[in-house]
């Protein structure tokens, strides 16, 4: 049983692999490996889009910057407390 209370079963091979990783590397062997591109910015615009549109590289770069800023604003807005995002609007009924 997992800490969440959900029951799971593991194959014998999975248990042996995990045991081997623990014996070789300790607790670090049981953790997930670090992503190969950790720390690098993720590409928002797809390579297919880059090839499909007739814009020059400067225009594509400008569009990517605007999209990044727009998406960043959406993320910030989603993480604001409700009272702050509703400032100046009608309050919730008590």
pLDDT tens column, 21-34: 999 999 999 998 88
- Within 8 A by CB and 6+ apart from 90, the residues are none
- Cα(first)–Cα(last) distance of the chain, in Å? 41
Model pTM greater than 0.85? Answer: no
Identify the segments of the chain with pLDDT beneath 70: 43-45, 81-94
Cα dihedral sign for 88, 91, 92, 94?
positive
pLDDT of residue 24: 96
pLDDT of residue 92: 45
């Amino acid at each position: 049983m997992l800490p969440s209370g959900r029951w799971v079963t593991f194959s014998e091979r999975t248990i042996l692999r995990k045991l081997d990783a623990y014996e070789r590397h300790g607790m670090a062997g049981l953790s997930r490996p670090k992503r190969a591109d950790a720390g690098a910015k993720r590409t928002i615009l797809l390579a297919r889009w880059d090839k499909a549109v007739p814009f020059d590289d400067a225009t594509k770069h400008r569009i990517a910057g605007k999209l990044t800023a727009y998406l960043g604003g959406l993320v910030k807005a989603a993480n604001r407390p409700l009272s702050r995002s509703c400032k100046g609007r009608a309050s919730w009924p008590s």
